[in-house]
Amino acid sequence: MTLVPHATLNASVVTLAAIAGGEVERGSDADGGYEGAAFDLGSLPFAVIRPDGRQTDAAVIYLPDNVTSAPAITRAITKIVRSFGLSPSALQWRSKDQR
């Protein structure tokens, strides 16, 4: 499964992992280093990742590549934000729709 970036939250990966009981992992790929945590919200697997060099109080939400329509992306992002107990204002950026 390939994950695709779809939104940025005003919250650190460490904070989100603590809220949801996840583990933060460090790694690297062709684009450089990152820290991230993987989650499964019912039938929705997703990850929050912060690439090295990006502000520490921001995390990018990655969704599976089969979540492609604007309504499906919006529903998934909304579900994830609510699951972390965050307000919609915690979103800095969201793909596929106009906020």
Note down pLDDT in tens along the chain; length 99 residues. 899 999 999 999 999 999 999 999 999 988 899 999 999 998 999 999 999 988 889 999 999 999 999 999 999 999 999 999 999 999 988 875 434
| Max Cα distance, the chain (Å) | 33
User: Which value, to the nearest 10 degrees, does the dihedral of the CA atoms of residues 62, 65, 71, 75 take?
Assistant: -40
Using DSSP's 3-state secondary structure scheme, residue 1 falls into coil
Where do the structural domains in the chain lie, given as residue ranges?
3-94
pLDDT at 96 (0 to 100)? 59
